[in-house]
Amino acid sequence: MDRKQAKAKVHEMLAAGTSKSEVFRALSGQGVKDRTLAFLIASHLDARRYADNRVHVRIVIAIACLQLILGLLIGAYLGLTQSAVAGLIVGGVVAVVAGLFLWGFATHNAGVYNAFLILTIVQWTRQLRDFAGDPGGTAVALGISIAIFAYVWFVRGRLFPDFAFISPRKAGGQYVFTE
């Protein structure tokens, strides 16, 4: 069984009401690595969880929209003050990245939540490097970034409770799932 077949089988079994642990036991050892299978199970969104957290998901989407708008404004500013090429490049990159995040948040893709969290952590080093030049502005930007990180982590935890940091939760060397 390949990853695509495993994903379809996981979705089918979970939709039928089979527990996540039972799905893992049933599909383990059938050609897909256990880590991949655990990720597929952990990233499956339960309709009830989405209904309970719909407002949080919309807030995350609104945050991503604001980041898109801010990035495009920065691109336009660079285009006016530096060069049109720099503005287009920055604006284009921001539009693509923010657009992918918007798509992922709107389609409830656990991998996109994980990517957002990782990219946010990676950018903190760049923000801290600028601290000596502008401590006030950097502190505010870092505080906002940490708050957004914490909120996205919170929402991801509510939607996909079977993730530890960016991988499925393990206890005693075994994958564990909430039921």
pLDDT of residue 129: 85
CA distance 101 to 110: 11
- CA distances to 92, 104, 179 from 60, rounded to whole Å, are 22, 11, 25
pLDDT of residue 64: 93
CA distance 177 to 49: 15
Residues 158 and 113 sit within 8 Å (Cβ to Cβ): no
Residues 38 and 23 sit within 8 Å (Cβ to Cβ): no
Question: Which of 11, 4, 20 lies closest to 174, judged by CA?
Answer: 20
Q: Where are the beta strands (DSSP E) in 12-144?
A: none
Report helix, strand or coil for 42: helix
CA 79 to chain CA centroid, nearest Å: 30
Query: Per-10-residue mean pLDDT for the chain, 179 residues long?
Result: 87 89 88 89 90 95 92 84 84 89 94 94 87 83 93 95 89 85
46-78 pLDDT tens trace? 888 999 999 999 999 999 999 889 888 888 888
pLDDT of residue 71: 84
Q: Going by C-beta distance under 8 Å and a sequence separation of 6 or more, which residues neighbour residue 167?
A: 35, 39
pLDDT of residue 141: 87
